[in-house]
């Protein structure tokens, strides 16, 4: 397999770099931890390492060193399409190089041959009560696939440590291959009561398949969005909750299914993946209040009313970023090029002009600019995907690409089980005296 060969060729030099750092420079201090950080969700504690992506506060996510505009420009596209192959993005995350069109297509071909979902998974999903949250269904479906883990089987058979990453790569490809179909099945079953088994079409790329399986009216254009969406949501370095949860579970040598199910459970939390739906709800409440897109002054007052009510403006602010999120900009540009007159989009654009000023005047948010969630739902809404709690499932499908690429490299570089040290309150009080 191409990706396998490409990673294998790089491994000796990566292992040498990492071994050398840990062995010869292990005592070098790269940060300190304060009591405020211990109580404050470990913000800014520098304790993780990944080469797959890095969030630069001033420019946003860099995927293998490339900015969002660079990634979107350089990755190969399906013929006649405007947005790149998702397979090309997965290649980039795994291998660290922009693939040629043929290389991107080899990943798409790998996915095509691994896309089939076993019957028991559909049966399990169908047996769940209709009101089961979409994220619960997705996480369960991922766990239901765990019995097929190559890593788990080979580990039982006594696989050597050097080979862990190859088994992890098999699982990463198998799992990501099945996710679009699983997500679409959950969508149709949960919201429309359709339980017919779905099949992937091996002649269609990841995004085109997904658009067809979802059954949205404008499939061609939605396929463009699906590719963009999955690419933009793939990775945001290692410290965010879904990536970190996946990494932590994987560090015990649990396989990719166990690990990613854990990551999805983190993504399901209101403080993580839920902001997309909150942002759309807020935009719709503006449209509802004013009977359409309001004027600038009306919006300014509405935003202040939200803050004065003690609520946040969803989609704005970020723990790390200090500029408008390039993932927001990419989706705004995508939408403006295709449906500039859509009311929700026009409103999202106006909010982008007005809300940063409001947040600056309030003076609390460290970053008054929009994050990706300020716009993602607006695009889904336009294409008819209006079941808000499904947006986190879409996020999960994209996020799988980043976290499984990280799992492969964590196993390749022999990263150990994670085990930070905890202290007691009395110990911190004692430290505070000194």
Ligand X SMILES: CC(C)(COP(=O)(O)OP(=O)(O)OC[C@H]1O[C@@H](n2cnc3c(N)ncnc32)[C@H](O)[C@@H]1OP(=O)(O)O)[C@@H](O)C(=O)NCCC(=O)NCCS
User: Which residues here bind ligand X, judged by CB under 6 A?
Assistant: 275, 307, 312-319, 359, 364-367, 371, 373
- Burial class of 78 by CB neighbour count within 10 A (0 to 12, 13 to 18, 19+): buried
Nearer to ligand X, 10 or 362 (CB): 362
CB of 4 to ligand X, least distance (A): 34
Known catalytic residue at 120:
no
Nearer to ligand X, 142 or 313 (CB): 313
**Which one, of 86, 79, 83, lies nearest residue 337 by Cα?**
83
DSSP run (H or E) holding 17: helix 2-24
CB of 310 to ligand X, least distance (A): 9
- Name the closest residue to ligand X (Cβ): 317
Name the token pair of 335. Answer: 């939408």
d(CA 23, CA 108): 39
Nearer to ligand X, 12 or 270 (CB): 270
d(CA 206, CA 291): 38
CB of 303 to ligand X, least distance (A): 9
Q: Is the distance from CB of 50 to CB of 70 less than 8 angstroms?
A: no
Nearer to ligand X, 317 or 398 (CB): 317
CB of 66 to ligand X, least distance (A): 21
Nearby residues of 352 by Cβ (< 8 Å), 6 or more positions away:
324, 328, 332, 370, 374
For 86-124, letters b (16+ CB in 10 Å) and e give: bbbbbbbbbbbebbeeebbbbbbebbbebbebeeebbee
Name the token pair of 169. Answer: 């790569």
Nearer to ligand X, 246 or 367 (CB): 367
Nearer to ligand X, 128 or 319 (CB): 319
Question: What spatial distance separates the first Cα and last Cα of the chain, rounded to whole Å?
Answer: 58
d(CA 261, CA 280): 26
**Which one, of 126, 183, 123, lies nearest residue 380 by Cα?**
183
d(CA 69, CA 96): 17
d(CA 96, CA 310): 44
Catalytic residue chosen out of the listed positions 233, 244, 247, 318: 318
Strands of the sheet containing 66-67, edge to edge, are: 53-56, 60-63, 66-67
Known catalytic residue at 272:
yes
Nearer to ligand X, 376 or 415 (CB): 376
- Burial class of 318 by CB neighbour count within 10 A (0 to 12, 13 to 18, 19+): buried
CB of 315 to ligand X, least distance (A): 5
Catalytic residue chosen out of the listed positions 174, 205, 373, 382: 373
Catalytic residue chosen out of the listed positions 4, 56, 272, 342: 272
Known catalytic residue at 318:
yes
**Could you give the residue numbers annotated as active site?**
272, 318, 373
């Amino acid at each position: 397999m191409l990706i396998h060969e490409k990673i294998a060729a790089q491994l000796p030099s990566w292992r040498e770099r990492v071994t050398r750092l840990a062995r010869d420079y292990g005592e070098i201090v790269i940060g300190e931890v304060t009591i405020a950080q211990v109580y404050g969700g470990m913000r800014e504690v520098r304790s993780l390492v990944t080469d797959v992506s890095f969030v630069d506060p001033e420019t946003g996510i860099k995927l293998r060193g490339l900015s969002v505009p660079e990634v979107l420009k350089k990755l190969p596209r399906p013929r006649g399409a405007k947005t790149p192959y998702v397979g090309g993005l997965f290649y980039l995350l795994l291998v660290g190089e922009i693939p040629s069109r043929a290389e991107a297509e080899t990943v798409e071909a790998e996915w095509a041959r691994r896309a089939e979902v076993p019957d028991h998974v559909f049966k399990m999903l169908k047996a769940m009560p209709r009101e089961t949250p979409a994220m619960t269904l997705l996480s369960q479906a991922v766990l239901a696939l765990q019995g097929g883990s190559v890593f788990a089987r080979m580990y039982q058979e006594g696989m050597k440590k050097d080979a862990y990453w190859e088994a992890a790569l098999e699982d990463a490809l198998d799992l990501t291959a099945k996710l679009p179909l699983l997500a679409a099945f959950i969508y149709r079953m949960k919201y429309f009561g359709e339980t017919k088994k779905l099949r992937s079409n091996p002649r269609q790329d990841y995004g085109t398949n997904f658009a067809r399986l979802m059954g949205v009216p404008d499939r061609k254009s939605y396929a463009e969005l699906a590719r963009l969406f999955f690419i933009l949501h793939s990775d945001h370095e290692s410290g965010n909750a879904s990536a970190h949860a996946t990494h932590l579970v994987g560090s015990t040598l649990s396989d990719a299914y166990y690990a990613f199910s854990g990551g999805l459970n983190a993504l399901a939390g209101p403080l993580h993946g839920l902001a997309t739906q909150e942002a759309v709800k807020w935009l719709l409440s503006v449209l509802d209040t004013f009977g359409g897109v309001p004027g600038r002054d009306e919006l300014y007052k509405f935003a202040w009313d939200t803050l004065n009510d003690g609520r946040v403006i969803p989609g704005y602010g970020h723990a790390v970023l200090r500029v408008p999120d390039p993932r927001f900009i990419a989706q705004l540009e995508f939408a403006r090029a295709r449906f500039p007159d859509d009311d929700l989009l026009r409103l999202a654009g106006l909010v982008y002009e007005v809300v940063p000023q409001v947040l600056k005047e309030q003076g609390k948010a460290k970053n008054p600019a929009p994050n990706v969630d300020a716009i993602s739902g607006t695009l889904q809404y336009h294409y008819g995907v209006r079941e808000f709690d499904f947006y986190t499932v879409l996020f999960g499908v994209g996020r799988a690409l980043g976290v499984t690429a990280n799992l492969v490299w964590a196993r390749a570089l022999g990263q150990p089980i994670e085990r930070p040290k905890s202290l007691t309150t009395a110990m911190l009080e004692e430290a505070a005296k000194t």
